[in-house]
Every structure is written in structure tokens, then in C-alpha cells.
Structure 1
């Protein structure tokens, strides 16, 4: 589906900023922060970080984007579709690793059957200590 159609379907105005933000997010393999979006598009259009945040909030409220706030308190955005991703984040070095398959879809179906809700999104994140940090800190107790 084209970006213009996605915005139209949700009753949102089609603006250059929204199109560029969504195009940037859709090209990324992994979820992306507002700051990362800014760095990618700052040379293409005159846009400040607060405008990016406002648009991201609007797109999230319209359920076009999923937002995940990581243990480092940074929010990451991705398209709300069947290809969304989840993470495991190292609490030591803060690196994020992608979990390729969404382990929540079956659970969602069961919850919908039990509650009658129509689920339109979810957040799911693991935290732990990555193998590199485990090696560096063998003597450290977590």
C-alpha cells in the first residue's frame, strides 16, 4: 500500500513531512528513533526534531506506527504491519538485537477470543545481558 493511501485511510492530511518520515521508516530494516530519522532526512527537507516528534506521535495515535520505548528510554518506531519486530536489549551495553519472529501473534488471537477485544497493536521486549558483556564481566553478578 502506498504511503499516501495509508495516510488517507487513517483520515490524516498528506504532508511532505509525514511522507518523508514514513518513507524513511519503511526503508529501515529495524525500528528507528526520532533522532535517527532526523539525521537521515535533515539534508532533504528543512525540519526540526520537534516536528518529527509531533508527526511520530500523530502517526502512532493513528495506529500507522508502533512505538517501543527501550530500556535506554529512547523510543523506536516501526510500521504497524505484520513485519514488525521485537527486541532483546542488553542492559549492560544497551545494544539491541532483533527477534526475527513475533512470538505474540498466537497469544493475541487467544486474548481476542477470550475478551472480545480487537487488538490493534502490542509492545513486547526482552532485556538481558548479551554474550559480549557476559564475557567482559564474568566475575560481575547481575
Structure 2
């Protein structure tokens, strides 16, 4: 299903602002709402931060973007179009490493077996020290 159809089926339209915001998230990879705003304003200078927040919420409800907390500041958004992943964040240099969920298969199986629990790993962020900073 294409983007316009997905939005239409949910009772929403693909507005120029939504397209700009989705494109900005795609270009930036991992971005805070302020970073999305700065990128989108390259195409539409009058875009407001409230429009960015509202549309990121809609795009997340539709499963087109996800957010993770990669710092103690604003959430960071990324496109769902690429692979499902979780994040490693270095506390020293703030580098973000995306890791495929296949790495977690043994842990996920153990959590399910022991607790009947299936985590949402797309929101998982592990903080530590990267190889370069160690």
C-alpha cells in the first residue's frame, strides 16, 4: 500500500507538510523534532514546530516513523521504511549505532519463555561506551 492510500484509509491526507516532514526524517536518519524542522524549513520556511510535532505523532500512529530516546532531551525519530532495529548510544562521544533485532533473538526467546513477555525492541536504547572511546 502506498503512503497516500495508507493515510487516506486512516481518514488523513498526504499534505505537503506531512510529505516534507516524512522526507526530512528519511534524509536525516535519526532526528529530533527541532532537527526535522530545520531540514523541512529548507523547502518551506514558514513551517512551525507545532506542525512538526503534530505530524510526527500522526506518522508514528500510522507506523511510518518511530521514536526512541537517545538522550535525555527530545525523542529522536527515524523512518520505519528501513530495517527494524534498536540503538546503542555512546555516553562519551554520543555516537548512535543501529543494530538489527536478530542480535536479540536469544534474549527475546528467554523473555517470552520466562515471562510470556514480548518487548517492543524498536524503542530500545542501550547506553554505554563505544569501541573508539573505550
TM-score, length basis structure 1: 0.69
Shift of 1:87: 1.4
Count of equivalent residues? 133
The offset of 1:4, in angstroms, is 1.4
Rounded to whole Å, the distance in 1 between the matches of 2:37 and 2:78 is 15
Structure 2 partner of 1:80: 80
Mapped pair 1:130 → 2:130: yes
For structure 1, the 5+ residue unaligned runs are 135-142
In structure 2, the partner of 1:39 is 38
Once superposed, which parts of structure 1, at least 4 consecutive aligned residues long, lie more than 6 Å away? 105-121
Q: Do the aligned partners of 1:84 and 1:102 also contact (CA within 8 Å) in 2?
A: no
Moved more, 72-81 or 47-56: 72-81
Give the SS at the match of 1:133: coil
Aligned partners of 1:2 and 1:52: how far apart in 2? Answer: 22
State the alpha-carbon separation in 2 of the partners of residues 112 and 12 from structure 1: 36
3-state secondary structure, aligned to 1:83: coil
Aligned pairs for 1:1-142 within 5 A: 1-28=1-28, 30-45=29-44, 46-81=46-81, 83-104=83-104, 122-134=122-134
CA RMSD of superposed structures (Å): 3.4
Say if 1:63 and 1:120, in contact at 8 Å, map to a contact too.
no
- Please tell me whether the aligned partners of residues 31 and 85 of structure 1 are also in contact (alpha carbons under 8 angstroms): no
On the 8 A contact 1:3/1:23 being kept in 2, the answer is no
The normalised TM-score by structure 2 is 0.72
For 1:57 and 1:98, locate their aligned partners in 2 and report how far apart those are by CA, in whole Å. Answer: 22
8 A contact 1:4–1:19 mirrored in 2 = no
The offset of 1:93, in angstroms, is 2.7
